[in-house]
Amino acid sequence: MRLVQEVRGRGRYLDVGCGTAMITRLLPPGTVGVDLNPRNLHKAMHYAPRARFVLADAEGAIPLRSGSFDVAICTEMLEHLLHPLKTVGEMHRLLTSAGVLLGSVPGRSPVWKLRWMSASRQAFAHEPYHKHYSRGDVERLLSRHFRIQTLYSKHLGLNWFFTAVKEVL
C-alpha cells in the first residue's frame, strides 16, 4: 500500500471503517480501528491482535479524545455513508494539528458499469447508497477540513487515492 508507506513511522494511527483489519494489521502496535459492525471487529481482533478496536458510527461522535492521532486512514468507506462530510469532520477532530488523513474512494469510472457481469452483481443491485466520486467531489469533500497533498486516480479510474493535511480552523 503506497499510501501507508508514505506515513509509516509517524506516530499514533487511526483506521476509520477498519472492517476486518485488512489495513490495520499492517500498522504499528497500538493503532486504533473503528467500525460500525461488531462482527467485523470480532474478526479484526483476531487479524490485528496488537491493535485496539472501538465500535462506533463514523458519522457520529467517535468516542475518542480530540487530537489523539497523527494519522487517520479511511479506505473504501466514505462512499457508503449518507453524510461523509460528518465523518471527514470527525477525523479532523481526532487528528493532531499536523495530522495526516489518507484514504481512497471509488472513482466514476465507466468500468464500474461492468459489475453486471460479476457473480456478485446482485449484491450491488440492492445497495441503498454507493457513491462514485469525481476528482472535484473528492476535493470538495476534503477541502473544508484538510489541505490536499496528493490526489490521484489508479486502476482505469476505479479509485481515487488521497493524502491530506489537517487545516487548523
pLDDT over 60 at 68, yes or no: yes
Report, as an integer, the average pLDDT of 19-33.
96
H or E element: which one contains 135? helix 135-143
Q: pLDDT for 95-125, tens place per residue?
A: 999 999 999 999 886 555 555 555 555 555 5
152 bridge partner residues: 161
DSSP class per residue in 49-118 = TTSEEEE--TTS--SS-TT-EEEEEEES-GGG-S-HHHHHHHHHHHEEEEEEEEEEEEB--GGGGGGGGS
Give residue-wise pLDDT tens across range 83-99. Answer: 999 999 999 999 999 99
For residue 17 the three cell numbers come to 471503517
Alpha-carbon 139 to chain mean position: 15
User: What is the residue whose three cell numbers read 471487529?
Assistant: 41
Q: What is the pLDDT of residue 5?
A: 57
Give residue limits of the domains in the chain.
2-166
Of 3.30.70.1110, 3.30.930.10, 3.40.50.150, 3.30.70.3190, which CATH number belongs to 2-166? Answer: 3.40.50.150
